[in-house]
Structure 1
């Protein structure tokens, strides 16, 4: 990714496509057009790539102000890459858990129903490995079982929230990036 090609004046580094989808939807809920504001939301293909992306896009590269969104278990990679602690927004333990907590089980299942996946989820719940797990854990696991599902639900689950219900890391990274340009 080059800033000449994107016209970016700031960047949010995220682990993957599902994080990008959630950030873009959160920005819509907050009334912020990140693209028009010159903020690129960059999926890195995993947190271990943050050093490369920070080097390319940050102060030593393109000179962009950087923010990051990551899972609690990945924050060390962002720290080692030199991102300031106040510019890294941490999901505990991860983005899917943050979204499921914000929605609650009933609202999350309503989103699955709207998206045509509730029947599949009910079948998933009957698998021997899932039967004794709490519903929130089942939902969390279900989101990662099929290619593209996490990305799809990054948007759908976030869209089901109001701006006031957004998890703090999502709200924080959008507002910090928008303020940096």
Structure 2
């Protein structure tokens, strides 16, 4: 039985210059109708965590969430998965600073930007604002990362910075941390206070 991870890997090989054959086969086997394009694995972790909390089985709904390995890859992935390629409906998240780049790339792939939902800075920023800094610090402590967090705060570059940007920076200072906390922060959201871009994305699927 095909699984979304196999499809993601096949698309990654295709995007790197490989054959489209395996991705095409898996898309048919999975019954895919929609591809959710995300910048990286931390966004994937957050989207899948929230979908799970809402009782959604995206794979069973014909939806595959695809991390692109960076926003600059959106044109390539949109061309492979959208109208010029597999013909899937495209949606996803993008950051405000990259909106114009997405507009150009998606226009070239004949895919509309209105299907993409815009984060003010990035998804981690949206999650921290939704939870509040005190709640995020509590999650860090509960995960056993309090000592690392306190060490980080003693760095000269962090002196006198507001707590919100400190937290954003901390999440990106260790390999794998953004992915782990992408899931943890999404799982900790109040159902009534989900960041608007994330909420709108799930509602559109």
| TM-score, normalised relative to structure 1 | 0.93
Call closer, same or farther: CA 1:49–1:76 in 2, change over 3 Å: same
**Distance in 2 of aligned mates of 1:35 and 1:174:** 13
Residue 117 (structure 2) pairs with residue 93 (structure 1): no
Superposed CA offset, 1:129-163 (max 9, x none)? 10110111111100010111111111011111122
RCO greater where, 1 or 2, for CA within 8 Å and sep 6 or more? 1
Aligned-CA RMSD value: 1.2
1:104 to 108, 111, 132: 132
**Distance in 2 of aligned mates of 1:89 and 1:103:** 20
Call closer, same or farther: CA 1:35–1:120 in 2, change over 3 Å: same
Per the alignment, residue 123 of structure 1 pairs with 151
Per the alignment, residue 113 of structure 1 pairs with 141
Runs of 4 or more, structure 1, over 4 Å off, are: none
Tell me the CA shift for residue 107 of structure 1. 0.6
**Distance in 1 of aligned mates of 2:142 and 2:26:** 37
**Distance in 1 of aligned mates of 2:186 and 2:24:** 28
Residue 182 (structure 2) pairs with residue 154 (structure 1): yes
Q: Spell out the pairing of 1:55-94 with structure 2 (5 A cutoff).
A: 55-80=79-104, 81-82=106-107, 83-94=111-122
Unmatched segments (≥5 aa) in structure 2: 1-10, 12-22
| TM-score, normalised relative to structure 2 | 0.82
Per the alignment, residue 166 of structure 2 pairs with 138
2:67 to 19, 28, 43: 43
Tell me the CA shift for residue 31 of structure 1. 2.4
Query: How many residue pairs are counted as aligned between the two chains?
Result: 177
Structure of larger gyration radius: 2
Tell me the CA shift for residue 68 of structure 1. 1.7
Unmatched segments (≥5 aa) in structure 1: none
Call closer, same or farther: CA 1:4–1:164 in 2, change over 3 Å: farther
**Distance in 2 of aligned mates of 1:148 and 1:159:** 17
Call closer, same or farther: CA 1:99–1:3 in 2, change over 3 Å: farther
Superposed CA offset, 1:64-99 (max 9, x none)? 001021111122232112232321101111111100
